[in-house]
Structure 1
Amino acid sequence: ARALPARPALAVPVAGLAGAVLPGCECASVPVAGALVRRGVTPAAAFAFLLSAPAINPVVLTATAVAFPNNPEMVAARFGASLLVACGMGWLWQRLGRTDWLRTRAHGAHEGATKGETFWNSVRHDTVHAGGFLVLGAMAAATLKAVVPATWLRLAADNPVLSVLALAVLAVLLSICSEADAFVAASLTQFSMTAKLVFLVVGPMIDLKLFAMQAGTFGRGFALRFAPATFAAAIAGAVLTGAVLL
């Protein structure tokens, strides 16, 4: 909270850029964002970090460069589109979000507890709380991954609009970790580079396990509003960036 600018409009891009230097997967970003909100960070900045950290951290960008050795512009496009969407959603929450949509629980800090005790209390709470929703989301993702026919992808690839929507939906259904999704995107050779970028931007921001974890951390009312808006913003940001850089 001390590191962020006092003005929420400026805190959002600073928090978004912080995701570039703090490696973490999307499963970790949800409980971290919840902890930031509980510690007094403005929700708009916490949500910008939530969306950016899994998408623009050095591990993910390096993996993207390895997966696309002949297309270095994909790394820049992923970074730019993801940061654009993360900041856009933070500013959107700052303008339209309502605190009564959020449900956060204070925990872990007991009066008289040492810093070490508070640390382990938080670890135990977040591991059990977020882990349960992660398991439920992963079970749903695994089920859908097994039933989506591969032939649907080949049919969708021939239509530019349909290919973008197909890979956006596929990113949500497959729920692949952001450290590995670039290799999956690179294997979808029948799709355009812009459609692949959509896959890489949407996946770390909203998928089945993330929706379950967001609902568990911030409340179902929040997730039902935040997830669709993030999905639409991620597609729009990726398409716009792809048109410029790819």
Structure 2
Amino acid sequence: MVPAQPPTPRAPATLDEELLHCLGPGFPDFADSDPMRVARIRDEIAYGFAALADVAHAVSIFGSARTPTDDRYYALAREVAKCLGDRGFDIITGGGPGTMEAANRGACEAGVRSIGLNIELPHEQSVNPFVTVPLRFRHFFVRKLMFIRYASAFVVFPGGFGTLDELFEALTLIQTGKILHFPVVLAGSQHWSGLANWIHDQLLASGMVSAEDLELLTVADDPDVIADIIDRTHRHQTETYQSATT
């Protein structure tokens, strides 16, 4: 008879898990403590706003934490971040390894702020050594707010579910007019062409998106081209806003 395997130790619940599954088995009823939880969320938002209050020109860069340092997309993310930094943009990432590290590294090489928005996970993720402005969040949605609020653009490199989540959330917010239409660039045509074709051949063909929606995405490979797209759009939007308010 094969002996039973001991159960895998369960990682401690994160605050997000408690918040989103507070009625599930193993969790107490938080009804009495909800005001405290709301206050904690409020404090975390205020913490992020205060830390990033003077960030006026920044680009959020997303991609896989699993990208090795010798991968071509690591090199591309590093170069894109440097090109953006040379144009005066601070760089915001999730602060972890892989593509995030590459982008933070490029920011350091350009001499701009290298911001890392780290997140509490069941298995701790350390901040990469190229982050110069480290912030730590316990709730995903608060962290997402910071990525959006302080960004002039998104650059999205190959990644997993988290990367796709950030991509489609940004597209949804732009499409529905919740945020200003800023550039969303997919870096790496070989990786992203399949998704771009699927959106065209399936979503557009089925009438689930419009032709104008396809213009929300740009696929590019050249770091200077990516930086120029973002810089040009940012300058135009700044001039338009200033004209409208004077």
TM-score under structure 2 normalisation? 0.24
TM-score under structure 1 normalisation? 0.24
The structure with the larger Rg is 2
Higher relative contact order (CA 8 A, sep 6+): 1
Higher helix share: 1
Higher strand share: 2
